[in-house]
Structures are given as C-alpha cells and as structure tokens.
Structure 1
Amino acid sequence: MKRSRTLTLTTLMAAGGVSLTACGDNATPTVRIENPGASVDAYAYRTLQECKDRDEVPDAACEAAETAALEDQDKAPRYAAQGACEEVYGAGQCVPRSEANGGGSFWGPLVAGFVVGRMLDGGWGGRGLYRDWRDGGFYTGSGGRVWTDYTTGRTRIGTRGFDPPDAYQPPAKVQSRAGVISRGGFGGNMSSRSYSGSRWGG
C-alpha cells in the first residue's frame, strides 16, 4: 500500500464538527508528558488552508506545522490489528499502512489536525495532533496535550509537546492489544490508566 502525503478531513472531524481544543486543564492525569514544559498559546487547525485563513500565525508557521504533521504520521504508533488501534483512537480512526520498500503492514491512527505555537525563544513550533477517544483529548505524537486554561479561555500546550515523537518513544514497532492496554497507545512518559480528525493517511 502506498502512504498518502495528502490531507483530508476524517469522518470524525467532518461529521461531528468536533473542536480540536480539548477541555480541561494541564494538571489532569490525562497529560501524557510528565513534565510538559512551560505552556504557550496553542492554535489548532484541521487543514493548512484553515490555518492560513484564520490569520492567527504566520503562513510560514502553518506550512512548517503541516510538514511536521506529515512527518509525525510516519512515526505514529503502529498496531498489529485494527481493533487494537481503535481501542485508543476510536472506530473508523485507524487505517492500514505498510512500510516503505515492501516492508510489513500494520494499522495506524489518523492525524486529526495540527497545532502551532510560539516557542520560548520566539520562534514557531508545530506538530500533528491525534485524538484519544478515551478522554476526548488531542495530543501530539510525543504526548503533549492541547488544553484550555479556564482562567483566561486560551488554548495552551506545553513546549515539550512540540518535540518530535521519537524524542519520547523508541523506534516505531507494531503494538499488540496488550501493549495498548499497558501503554495507552502513546510512547514515552504517561499514565497507564484506562480512560472511561483531518485524515492524513491511507
């Protein structure tokens, strides 16, 4: 199977009109990075065009974030079975993929959009977002959660959420259902607790 390099709305995002901004605060146990870093304003988008049309961040930042999201897709968690993947990301939110150069096949989650934010050094950072259906939150591939600061109403993310996924997880490998339950579907430092899209892939 060929890996797609184009972006289209997931059925979840298109039909449900789900906001990319997850509710809650940065102190909840659903935060996947134990030390997420200083929080910065976050701007979440489903498509590159939406990012540019909103005119909240420079167009160049939109483009860089989209590129990072496409790269994240190649490093996303991998699952041996569709059901194991959907336990984390929800029904219809996982697609079959295959390794380049005739490698093995696996199931991977759809990227739901991307997040952009200004880093502490003044530059812009961006990564793809995945929606964990168990808590409804949106996370970058490294486990950074997009959240709402209720005192200001602003959307925020810890700066470490902009790190590339492989900064927190080992080289991608196919996960079993047991691995999903024990590791929560994301790599790196996270809670093992069990909880209660632009489609960029195929």
Structure 2
Amino acid sequence: MKRSSSLTLTTMLAGASLTIAACDDAPAAANWNKNSVAQGEQVETFQYADLDSCKTANAIPDADCDAAYAKALEDNDKSAPRFEAQATCEETHGVGNCVPRTASNGGSFFTPLLAGFVIGQMLDGGGNRYYRGTGLYRGRDGYQTGWGGTLGRDYATGRTTISRQSIDPPDSIRQAPQRMQTRTSVVSRGGFGGGRGFGG
C-alpha cells in the first residue's frame, strides 16, 4: 500500500491553495476498464505523481509537463468529484484521502485529494500532436479523472490509455454544473461517480 501525505501548493491559476497528495511513486499500472471500448476514442497517456516526476521521466518536453500540470490543477479546482459528507467521499477514495473545500456561495463539501495527473497525447484536425493534462484521483477501480474516466491498458501495445472525453471533454460536459455526490448516489453507481456522469 502506498504511503501518501498531503501538502499545500499555491497555484498561479487560482491564486489560492489546494491540497495534493504526494505519492512515493507515480500512479502505477492502470487497471483495465472493461467499458473503455464503448467510451469513444482512446488516447495514449502518461501519468505522474507530480510535476518533477514528469520532467524526470523525460518522455515529453518540460514545457508540456508544465502546461499539463497547470491544466490538472485548474481542472481539480473546477471538476474534482464533490461529496456532501467526508464519510461518503472516503468510502470511495479511501480513509484520509478527502479534504473539505468551500464553494463560492459559502457552502462546503468534500473532495478527494489529487493523487497525480495524467497527460494524453492528442491529435488536432491537421494531424499535429499535442498534450493535454487533467488530475487523477484514487478510486475503487484504480486511478480516475474528475471527468469520470478510468485509466485502462491496451494489451496489444502495453500502453496506458484513457478515453479522450475523460481527459478533454467537450464544452457541454465541461460547463455543466457539478453534481454533489451523496451516499445514495454513490451506492447506486457502485462507487466512484464522475461529477458529470460519464465514464471511460
């Protein structure tokens, strides 16, 4: 079992602090998601516990590590799964892995700690490659994004994959209101549920 400790980072994006879990090593082998084939285009991914791990791995340029990590922090602020009670959050993400946060309207809720970030290799319309990042959270079925996606493995290549929508969803998903997870909704969904209700 991996040890984790929480630390507070100040993001330039929000000008505020957030809590991120620092792991002893990067998120390890992804679990196969049996539903991934039905969730649309799959993209190859890299996953890291923190920014330094991304740069040390030297798999992608440092500037892309910076950009992907910044996007992961931004997404964490906007799309981290929200729970009305700490106990419900911990049932899904593990004891000690959830922290309180305050909404802009003054209300409070709990979110899981950011356990790292994932970077997807995307292709634009012209066939040019670019990278896009988002945050990862520990869940019952492995590492998952705030948009509801679960890391999978392409057994033909041995590479880790995720559905494109799970790392770079369309505006209709990105702008949808966050849904508060309750114990009833968590039980009915069998555990982790992305705030906007699609998986992959």
TM over 0.5: yes
Q: Which amino acid aligns with 1:41?
A: E
Find the counterpart in structure 2 of residue 114 from structure 1. 117
Instruction: Classify the secondary structure of the residue corresponding to 2:80.
Output: coil
Contact 1:139 1:145 (8 Å CA) reproduced: yes
What's the Cα RMSD here? 2.7
Find the counterpart in structure 2 of residue 80 from structure 1. 84
Q: How many residues align?
A: 177
Mapped pair 1:152 → 2:152: no
Q: Deviations over 1:106-132 (max 9, x none)?
A: 111111111112202222111111121
| Runs of 5+ unmatched residues, structure 1 | 192-202
| Runs of 5+ unmatched residues, structure 2 | 1-14
Partner residue of 1:22 out of 30, 33, 47: 30
- Displacement of 1:65 in angstroms is 1.4
Higher relative CO (CA 8 A, sep ≥ 6), structure 1 or 2? 1
Partner residue of 1:4 out of 17, 21, 24: 17
Contact 2:31 2:153 (8 Å CA) reproduced: yes
| Identical counterparts, % of pairs | 45
Partner residue of 1:175 out of 173, 178, 181: 181
Instruction: Classify the secondary structure of the residue corresponding to 1:62.
Output: helix
- Displacement of 1:3 in angstroms is 5.5
- Displacement of 1:54 in angstroms is 0.8
- Normalised TM-score (structure 1): 0.75
Mapped pair 1:71 → 2:77: no
Higher strand share: 2
- Normalised TM-score (structure 2): 0.76
